[in-house]
Structure 1
Amino acid sequence: MGTHQLTTINNSDTFEDSICDLFNHLESTFTYKRFGKNGHNQKGIDVFSTEKDCAIQCKKKDLSRKDLLIKKEIFNDIEKDVNKVINDDLKVKIDKLIFVSTYKDHPEIDEFCEILKEELNTDFEIIYWGWDTLESKFLANKELLNKYWSNFIIKTDSKETHFKRNLDLKKKIAKDFGNWLNDSQANRKLRSRILLRAFDGTQYPDENEPDEFGQYSWFRAEIKSLYHKGMEFIIGIDEIQVFEDYTWDFTSNDNEPKGELVNVAKVGQINFSDIIDYDIDGDEYYMFPHVFCKFIHKGTPFENIYYYNLDKTYEYFEIKDKRK
């Protein structure tokens, strides 16, 4: 199965209806229904099932805002609604209170639910399902896909299709980036600059705040070469010390080096599968090529990072990190 992405549901009533349908399907029941509507005293819940002793609160979020703001808002929502359930004399017996959201899954929200349960000593579990979880559940149900995403078509990508797509992309990149790839490293200078961008990033060009991994959704790099699975980019220059047994470590200002000092380029490898597309001309902000990628490797597009020697005419050598 290929990678699919459902658009989030933007209407609050439709979102709650879809959650009723989803949980009725998942738990093989017809007892999940909406607990009133906007304007009613919903006492902290939107959907419930008396048979399953489960209540659900639906949180449709404006995803155009900063992640930090959305996450903080969800923390506040969960705490406020849990206190409503406790203090507003809810007559429905519940063993689980599930918060579902159009915002993504996040471990900090899961941890917050656990902490809140302990602090308030609730009789019910507090659980969070973000859009990643909901999407996987909806994708497994054709009936719900037809009902809420009638224009969505699942396409199965065979290995042959995937292989051909990557091979075609490699040929296209080799042609379009020929002026960069075929020029010597010494002659490239500024002309080899590339802007790497998350294809689904929302910060460019006005801001560039790091994510939870401390990584950025767009940054400059220097194109280096193609490799058998994708493109290579120089993303930094480091100084290391290589020891007699060919292990190595980064140099430190705190200690005297104990090995041979070597300047190395830090090279990131991006798989063709993680390259969505590119714009060879750039835009009015950065007038050099933009490569749009999936930033799925701990906040980066790089499936692998290695170092190579800058002091020996770009000669490759295998180096092993002494810290491992």
Structure 2
Amino acid sequence: MTKKITGTLDVLIVLVCTYYGYQWAQNPDGNYEPWLFLASLIFICLEIFRRYEVYFIKREGKNLTPGELVKHREELRKQFQEEIYKCRVKNLRKDVIIRHVNRMDSYPHVEENHKGISPWFKGALLDTYHKGIMVWLRSGTLTDGAHGYRFTNYKKEEKGDIRVLMVGKIPYEYIECVNFDGDEYYYFPHIFCHFANKGEPYEEIVFCEEIDMGNGPTYYKEIVDFQSVKKHSVGCGIDYFS
């Protein structure tokens, strides 16, 4: 959202400068300097904001240098790939607990009437992708409608056209650390995350089709993103995926 706003202001400033530059060329005696100075000042302020945005806006999560980010990603990638490989070879459950770093002490209690995403919840570790991990959240079907995929309307006895997994993509930089041993409540891995994207730990939620590769590992083919499906579904009066 911030990038869209600054981008829009950039376009407006260019238009203002072009307009007053043209007027100045047509009528050099006009008083256009204050407007051009103001536009230039706004542009300079925008450029400063872009370069030092991280200091102006407080965001949850890690502020890493490029070098630190590479190291952090590689360390977690190796750990998660080892865990995924172990589960596949030994046919173990893929369960994980996603926990919010800022609300660690809420675990293991369940907050009643809590608005927004829970401070901890169960998922399943499916795979890694180039920026992080893929966590299974829910299963169901989608129906291919006139404007693309939408939620299946079971009230109208629709069967759905494709069975999919709802998958949250969590970047490594949102992950503070992992306890792969679990605890006395849940013995599977606890992933401590920053809920850094509008109060959620995912950079994106997508729908994937689970494809059995035969003797090889299971492949999760990305079909469509959650937001576009939700938009089409709400337009059809269907609110929930199941």
- Corresponding position of 2:142: 240
Q: The residue matched to 1:302 in structure 2 has which SS?
A: coil
- Corresponding position of 1:208: 111
Provide the rounded CA distance (Å) in 1 between the counterparts of 2:113 and 2:172: 24
* TM-fit CA distance, 1:162: 2.0
Provide the rounded CA distance (Å) in 1 between the counterparts of 2:147 and 2:195: 32
Provide the rounded CA distance (Å) in 2 between the counterparts of 1:315 and 1:289: 21
Given the alignment of the two structures, is residue 173 of structure 1 paired with residue 173 of structure 2, yes or no? Answer: no
* TM-fit CA distance, 1:156: 7.8
Q: TM-score, normalization: structure 2?
A: 0.58
Provide the rounded CA distance (Å) in 1 between the counterparts of 2:64 and 2:127: 28
The alpha-carbon distance between structure 1 residues 211 and 162, as it changes in their structure 2 partners (threshold 3 A), is farther
Instruction: Please provide the CA RMSD for this pair.
Output: 3.1
Contact (CA 8 Å) 1:225, 1:231: kept in 2 or not? yes
* TM-fit CA distance, 1:210: 6.0
Provide the rounded CA distance (Å) in 1 between the counterparts of 2:198 and 2:140: 21
Given the alignment of the two structures, is residue 309 of structure 1 paired with residue 212 of structure 2, yes or no? Answer: no
* TM-fit CA distance, 1:289: 1.1
Contact (CA 8 Å) 1:217, 1:295: kept in 2 or not? no
Contact (CA 8 Å) 1:280, 1:290: kept in 2 or not? yes
Query: Higher relative CO (CA 8 A, sep ≥ 6), structure 1 or 2?
Result: 2
Amino acid at match of 1:295: F
Contact (CA 8 Å) 2:84, 2:127: kept in 1 or not? no
The alpha-carbon distance between structure 1 residues 156 and 241, as it changes in their structure 2 partners (threshold 3 A), is closer
Provide the rounded CA distance (Å) in 2 between the counterparts of 1:273 and 1:309: 26
* TM-fit CA distance, 1:246: 7.9
Provide the rounded CA distance (Å) in 2 between the counterparts of 1:250 and 1:156: 37
Q: TM-score, normalization: structure 1?
A: 0.44
The 5 A counterparts of 1:14-163 are 157-163=64-70
Could you list the structure 1 runs, at least 4 aligned residues long, displaced by more than 6 angstroms after superposition. none
- Corresponding position of 2:162: 262
In structure 1, stretches of 5+ residues that fail to align are 1-135, 140-154
1:273-315 superposed Cα distances (whole Å, 9 cap, x missing partner): 00011111111111111111111223321111111124x5356
Contact (CA 8 Å) 1:210, 1:216: kept in 2 or not? no
Contact (CA 8 Å) 1:234, 1:268: kept in 2 or not? yes
Task: Please identify which structure carries the higher helix content.
Answer: 2
Q: The residue matched to 2:156 in structure 1 has which SS?
A: coil
1:13-51 superposed Cα distances (whole Å, 9 cap, x missing partner): xxxxxxxxxxxxxxxxxxxxxxxxxxxxxxxxxxxxxxx
Contact (CA 8 Å) 2:84, 2:125: kept in 1 or not? no
Identity %: 26
Provide the rounded CA distance (Å) in 2 between the counterparts of 1:249 and 1:307: 11
Aligned mate of 1:226, from 128, 133, 144: 128
* TM-fit CA distance, 1:208: 3.1
- Corresponding position of 1:298: 198
Contact (CA 8 Å) 2:125, 2:136: kept in 1 or not? yes
* TM-fit CA distance, 1:252: 1.6
Q: Number of aligned residue pairs: give it.
A: 164
Q: The residue matched to 1:200 in structure 2 has which SS?
A: helix
Q: The residue matched to 1:301 in structure 2 has which SS?
A: coil
